[in-house]
Amino acid sequence: MITKAVSVALLLATLMIALGTTRQPVQAGAGITLDGNFDDWAGKPCVSDPADDAPANLDIILFCFVSDFDTEEIYFMFQRIGNSLAPTDYTIRLDINNDDDYNDPEDRLIQIKYNLSNAHSMVDVTVYDGTGNYLATVASKADWGQSGRDGGSGVELGMSWTQLGLTPGVTAAATMDIYSGNMVDILDTPVTWTPADALGYVILGTIIVCAALYMVYRKRILVSETGTQS
């Protein structure tokens, strides 16, 4: 006869097995959970990209990133216009040695393959160096993107600094941007980041403000040259 205590133990064991085999969202640092829900990106540093400068499903409109200096991890999120269930590729480029060239061995290319259905997403994330050599698979069929029924607008992803060739404690400036498809849309305003600097968050904010001021300056120049508001 099975005692009550044994019954409870069996129930708990069954629950543990069930939980162990259930797909759980990845709990990540910097307040970001990699689950395809972008509510946790509120207030994080982002740069926008103009709408209508690429075909709808490839048209990037937002690129965000945040780093966790305790766990030495970095997280990215990007969104596009349009909702297509067609697989779409994106690449985040990092000029790790900050020489205005993304093709050095020190540089990194993060390839993101965004596959989605109405119910969920399957995201592959692979890291290459700047010359195209394979380095690491960060995710395979991870549910890190928005599903079709939730909007199908984008992906969040994360990885360690070392996967990007960044040495903790060593100051390095990285410039990054993102492009979709076969460079159909490129982030118009690349961002610069100093990962070993605890003020990196502030530095990015400064760059975003400078970029905004520059756009206002350009617009004024355009107005004065043409005499009309663009």
Q: Which residues bind Ca ion (CB under 5 A)?
A: 33, 35, 37, 40, 49, 53, 59-60, 95, 97, 99, 101, 104, 107, 185, 188
Query: What are the structure tokens assigned to 145, written together?
Result: 């993107």
Q: Cβ closer to Ca ion: 124 or 228?
A: 124
Question: Are β-strands 26-27 and 185-186 bridged in parallel, bridged antiparallel, or unpaired?
Answer: unpaired
Q: Are 50 and 59 within 8 A, CB to CB?
A: no
Q: How far is the CB of 42 from Ca ion (least distance, A)?
A: 10
Q: How far is the CB of 32 from Ca ion (least distance, A)?
A: 6
Beta strands in 73-120 (DSSP E): 73-80, 88-95, 108-116
- Give the torsion sign (CA, 218, 60, 197, 132): negative
Q: Cβ closer to Ca ion: 188 or 197?
A: 188
Q: How far is the CB of 16 from Ca ion (least distance, A)?
A: 26
Q: Cβ closer to Ca ion: 129 or 188?
A: 188
Q: How far is the CB of 81 from Ca ion (least distance, A)?
A: 7
Q: Which residues pair with 117 in a beta bridge?
A: none
Q: How far is the CB of 124 from Ca ion (least distance, A)?
A: 18
Q: Cβ closer to Ca ion: 33 or 147?
A: 33
Give the other-Cβ count within 10 Å of 107's Cβ: 24
Q: Are 32 and 46 within 8 A, CB to CB?
A: no
Q: Cβ closer to Ca ion: 143 or 185?
A: 185
CA distance 196 to 64: 19
